[in-house]
């Protein structure tokens, strides 16, 4: 079930924090933070490879901020939806915080 789209958080007045494209809740209660990446082709590593260390840090920062609304945060997971040309792949548990 879709919970939130384009959740954004800033680090300060002039500093970018992070954005989570989709927050989804699975039937078991797990919150899934989803990064959607698209590339015209899989050249240069493709869409999944474009989620580098800096992007992962920004996603984790935004997720931590999002989870502050919960007294007891639910289990979480980070997924990536990689779109390379016409090929779509959903990578469950693409990385860990």
Query: Given this model, what pLDDT does residue 2 score?
Result: 97
Distances (CA, A) of 24 to 1, 6, 30, 35: 6, 12, 8, 11
Between CA 61 and CA 65 the distance in angstroms is: 6
Give me the average pLDDT of each 10-residue run along the chain (97 residues). 95 81 97 94 79 94 96 96 92 93
Alpha helices (runs of H) in 36-83, residue ranges in sequence order: 46-49, 53-67
Residue of 62, 56, 72 lying closest to 8 (CA atoms):
62
pLDDT of residue 82: 94
pLDDT at 43: 67
The SS3 call for residue 53 is helix
pTM above 0.95, yes or no: no
Contact of 35 with 52, CB cutoff 8 Å = no
Residue 29 has a pLDDT of: 96
Distance in angstroms (rounded) separating the CA atoms of residues 39 and 32: 22
């Amino acid at each position: 079930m879709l919970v939130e789209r384009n959740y954004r958080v800033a680090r300060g007045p002039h500093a970018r924090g992070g954005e989570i494209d989709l927050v989804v809740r699975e039937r078991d209660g797990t919150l899934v933070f989803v990064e959607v990446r698209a590339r015209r082709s899989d050249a240069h590593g493709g869409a999944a490879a474009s989620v580098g260390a800096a992007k992962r840090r920004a996603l984790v920062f935004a997720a931590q901020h999002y989870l502050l609304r919960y007294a007891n945060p639910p289990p979480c997971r980070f997924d990536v939806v990689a779109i390379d040309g016409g090929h779509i792949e959903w990578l469950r548990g693409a990385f860990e915080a």
